[in-house]
Amino acid sequence: MYMWIIARISSRKARIKNPLGEQLGAKWDELTRDGVAFGKDAGMRVELLANRALFQRLRDEIVF
């Protein structure tokens, strides 16, 4: 998952063109632009956001 974040989200050219990709890309840009986090730290924070979003989507599709 971390390598996917680095390869597809951190790069503006390779960024995914869907709502989740745009949300994760905006978070990556915000973290690196404001100097809050860089490199691995920013990647882990975006990965946490991605895991939450994917879990919520899974929970919505499978009724608990």
- Contact predicate 7/21, CB 8 Å: no
How do the domains of the chain map onto residue ranges? 2-61
Residue 58's pLDDT is: 92
Dist. CA 41–CA 64, nearest whole Å: 32
Residue 17's pLDDT is: 93
Q: Is the pLDDT of residue 39 over 90?
A: no
Nearest to 40 by CA among 13, 4, 2, 14: 2
Residue 5's pLDDT is: 93
Q: Predicted confidence band at 64 (pLDDT cuts at 50, 70, 90)? A: low
What are the pLDDT digits (tens) for 1-35? 999 999 999 988 999 999 999 999 999 999 999 88
pTM of the entire structure?
0.83
3-state secondary structure of 42: helix
